[in-house]
């Protein structure tokens, strides 16, 4: 038996790998104290609070360290740091939109939050949970280091040792550093704004000593090419934080289905396999969610789960056994009209509302896992989701450490959302340059994704080489062999030639797999009108979409959908045309004020026609 890591269980149907990261899933169902709100901060570009003047890391007890103590205790004390309300910032929220001087800031900011908390049971455990912090977070409580996390878009939690937590006056400090590095994920270069800070919810969570760390209750992987059985089969598992007491059991209940299943608990992970009574399958047209409770003798957690199957079958994608066409749109986790990262329920609602206005049934959340609120809202609104980790452009594919960093982000992404019916595709990256080293790196990520969850499709956005363009373009990237869905980005008419080049261009892939266009688009500054040959005008963009849509009508049978680039104009440090861009990528179908551009109506008309055609 190959040792993956974490916990392996040999079930009736082979191995289940329950992850390595000790992330607590379904966190919103847990007893918790929100630590959102105003936090004090210290801007520390020289990391003076972390290193001494010889640039050696300060040791834990050093009073100069910014994780230690508060403001000057008495007038004789030489104290050169402290936290006062005059310097306060909102959490969650990127720092860039909160203070003008932070707009371009990349570096360290220290955050401090004081709170009181009394555990309801001394035997319980407490964890500090972060929805996301960009990029590196060093976390301290009452002067004690709890841990360090890297990765700007996935959740993490640290256990609070019982001896560290106080009933009153807890002192939580987080050193946040969003500096970019060549050996990180993403690497130095991205076409999005490197918003820094504690960008998603923070909470103190209280759980029993032995608790349900993570669980997966989904329909068994469907490879039949048919609709799932009326009484579909569930395949899953329940992972506890530690080995349970003797005689422990795991119970799964779905009251609405009058369903209850009790099984003896495994060592730390208990395999689940049972048939459900007749269910309403989840789909965009019927986004039915069931209340599912998983419990043991000491713990219980409840979630809202939809049951559906998704599979790449030959050259089709089948949702509940029926062919699916994805009318998609790519989205950045940003609210343009406020120039900030998205993190509220209303933000999620805005982005999905705009997508629905385009008549989409699918969204590609690019290029990193978005806030959990949007995948949960997609579940209830019936919007299919492509979720991706930021293995973007020129990651250091030669480095084992970088591969490990990418795997941790992949596992955190999957652990958080593997019970979301809306999520149908795990993407392991975007536009990564072809080489054997890169393909091995990406292949290893695809394998890991399947190990963690074999019920969804895996993919990656492949690149097209524009210099080689001719009338028949084949997507033959070697990575295509290992994905379920062959997805590619094409910008014919923006980065390659003029839009009318589409009239003589065709696309195909040698892989007998479904084919998806994960990006296409051109810049058009909202309100700038000119003739259609004028780049950056709404008319050029409109022409671009007209030619694309006509070309899409000639796509091969393998063509199962598209997610154009991009829903909204978004901030990018790479876009510096002083007249039309000014730090914005202008490929949004909506401009940064929320106005629809002319191209919006071209794409919508195409989707309306596709919806009629596919009756989906």
Contacting positions for ligand GCU (CB under 6 A): 191, 367, 430-431, 489, 519, 565, 585, 587
Nearer to ligand GCU, 83 or 590 (CB): 590
Q: Whole-number minimum distance, CB 489 to ligand GCU, in Å?
A: 5
Q: Whole-number minimum distance, CB 392 to ligand GCU, in Å?
A: 7
Other Cβ atoms less than 10 A from the Cβ of 184: the count is 21
Q: Whole-number minimum distance, CB 536 to ligand GCU, in Å?
A: 13
Nearer to ligand GCU, 548 or 585 (CB): 585
Nearer to ligand GCU, 125 or 587 (CB): 587
Nearer to ligand GCU, 367 or 597 (CB): 367
User: Residue 605: which of 553, 548, 526, 549 has the closest Cα?
Assistant: 549
Nearer to ligand GCU, 187 or 489 (CB): 489
Q: Whole-number minimum distance, CB 35 to ligand GCU, in Å?
A: 32
Cis peptide before 92 (omega within 30 of 0): yes
Nearer to ligand GCU, 441 or 565 (CB): 565
Nearer to ligand GCU, 32 or 585 (CB): 585
Q: Whole-number minimum distance, CB 587 to ligand GCU, in Å?
A: 5
User: Residue 518: which of 318, 411, 362, 373 has the closest Cα?
Assistant: 362
- H helical segments located in 418-518: 436-452
Find out whether 47 and 221 touch, Cβ atoms under 8 Å.
Answer: no
Q: Helix axis angle, 400-417 relative to 372-381, nearest 10°?
A: 40
Nearer to ligand GCU, 131 or 524 (CB): 524
Q: Whole-number minimum distance, CB 466 to ligand GCU, in Å?
A: 11
Find out whether 206 and 129 touch, Cβ atoms under 8 Å.
Answer: no
Backbone angles phi, psi at 387, to 5 degrees: -115, 140
User: Can you read off the two tokens belonging to residue 365?
Assistant: 């959340």
Q: Whole-number minimum distance, CB 334 to ligand GCU, in Å?
A: 12
Three-class secondary structure of residue 260 per DSSP = strand
Backbone angles phi, psi at 311, to 5 degrees: -155, 150
Give the dihedral sign, CA 145/149/153/154.
negative
Find out whether 572 and 583 touch, Cβ atoms under 8 Å.
Answer: yes
By beta-carbon distance, which residue lies closest to ligand GCU?
Answer: 191
Q: Whole-number minimum distance, CB 519 to ligand GCU, in Å?
A: 5
Nearer to ligand GCU, 169 or 433 (CB): 433
Find out whether 406 and 440 touch, Cβ atoms under 8 Å.
Answer: no
Q: Whole-number minimum distance, CB 547 to ligand GCU, in Å?
A: 18
CA-atom Rg of the chain in angstroms = 25
Q: Helix axis angle, 372-381 relative to 345-357, nearest 10°?
A: 50
Query: CB-based contacts of 579: which residues, under 8 Å, 6+ apart?
Result: 525, 536
Three-class secondary structure of residue 166 per DSSP = coil
């Amino acid at each position: 038996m190959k040792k993956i890591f974490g916990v392996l269980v040999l079930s009736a149907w082979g191995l289940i790998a329950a992850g390595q990261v000790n992330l607590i899933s379904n966190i919103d169902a847990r007893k918790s104290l929100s630590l959102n709100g105003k936090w004090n901060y210290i801007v520390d570009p020289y990391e003076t609070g972390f290193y001494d003047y010889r640039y050696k890391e300060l040791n834990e007890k050093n009073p100069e360290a910014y994780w230690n103590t508060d403001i000057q205790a008495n007038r004789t004390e030489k104290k050169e740091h402290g936290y006062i309300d005059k310097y306060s910032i909102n959490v969650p929220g990127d720092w860039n939109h909160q203070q003008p001087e932070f707009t371009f800031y990349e570096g360290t900011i220290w955050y401090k939050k004081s709170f009181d908390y009394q555990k309801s049971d001394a035997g319980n455990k407490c964890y500090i949970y972060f929805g996301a912090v960009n990029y590196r977070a060093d976390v301290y409580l009452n002067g004690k280091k709890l841990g360090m996390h890297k990765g700007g878009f996935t959740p993490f939690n640290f256990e609070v040792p019982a001896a560290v937590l106080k009933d009153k006056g807890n002192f939580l400090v987080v050193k946040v550093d969003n500096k970019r590095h060549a050996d990180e994920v993403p690497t130095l270069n991205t076409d999005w704004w490197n918003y820094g800070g504690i960008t998603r919810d923070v909470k103190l969570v209280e759980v029993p000593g032995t608790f349900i760390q993570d669980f997966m209750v989904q329909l068994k992987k469907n490879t039949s090419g048919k609709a799932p059985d009326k009484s579909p089969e569930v395949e899953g598992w329940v992972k506890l934080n530690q080995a349970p007491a003797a005689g422990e059991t795991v119970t799964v209940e779905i009251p609405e289905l009058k369903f209850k299943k009790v099984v003896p608990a495994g060592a730390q992970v208990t395999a689940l396999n049972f048939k459900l009574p007749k269910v309403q399958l989840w789909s965009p047209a019927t986004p039915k969610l069931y209340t599912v409770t998983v419990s043991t003798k000491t713990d219980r957690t409840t979630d809202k789960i939809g049951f559906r199957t998704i599979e790449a079958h030959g050259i089709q994608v089948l949702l509940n056994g029926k062919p699916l066409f994805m009318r998609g749109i790519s989205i950045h986790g940003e609210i343009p009209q406020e120039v900030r990262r998205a993190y509220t329920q209303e933000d999620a609602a805005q982005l999905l509302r705009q997508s629905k206005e385009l008549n989409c049934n699918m969204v590609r959340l690019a290029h990193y896992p978005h806030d959990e609120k949007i995948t949960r809202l997609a579940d209830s609104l019936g919007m299919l989701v492509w979720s991706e980790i930021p293995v973007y452009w020129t990651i250091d594919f030669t480095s084992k450490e970088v591969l490990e960093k990418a795997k941790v982000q992949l596992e955190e992404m999957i652990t958080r959302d593997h019970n979301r019916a809306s999520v149908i595709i795990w993407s392991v990256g975007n536009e990564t340059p072809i080489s054997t080293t890169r393909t091995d790196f990406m292949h290893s990520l695809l394998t890991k994704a399947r190990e963690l969850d074999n019920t969804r499709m895996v993919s990656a956005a492949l690149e097209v080489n524009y210099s080689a363009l001719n009338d028949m373009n084949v997507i033959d990237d070697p990575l295509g062999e290992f994905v379920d869905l062959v997805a590619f980005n094409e910008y014919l008419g923006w980065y390659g030639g003029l839009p009318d080049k589409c009239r003589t261009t065709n696309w195909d892939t040698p892989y007998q797999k479904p084919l998806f266009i994960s990006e296409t688009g051109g810049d058009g500054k909202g309100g700038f009108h000119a003739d259609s040959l004028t780049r950056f005008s709404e008319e050029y963009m409109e022409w671009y979409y007209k030619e694309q849509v006509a070309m899409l009508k000639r796509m091969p049978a393998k063509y199962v959908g598209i997610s154009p680039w991009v829903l909204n104009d978004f901030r990018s440090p790479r876009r510096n045309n002083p007249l039309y861009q000014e730090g914005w990528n202008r490929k949004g179908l909506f401009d940064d004020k929320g106005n629809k551009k002319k191209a919006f109506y071209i794409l919508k008309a195409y989707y309306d026609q596709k919806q009629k055609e596919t009756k989906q």
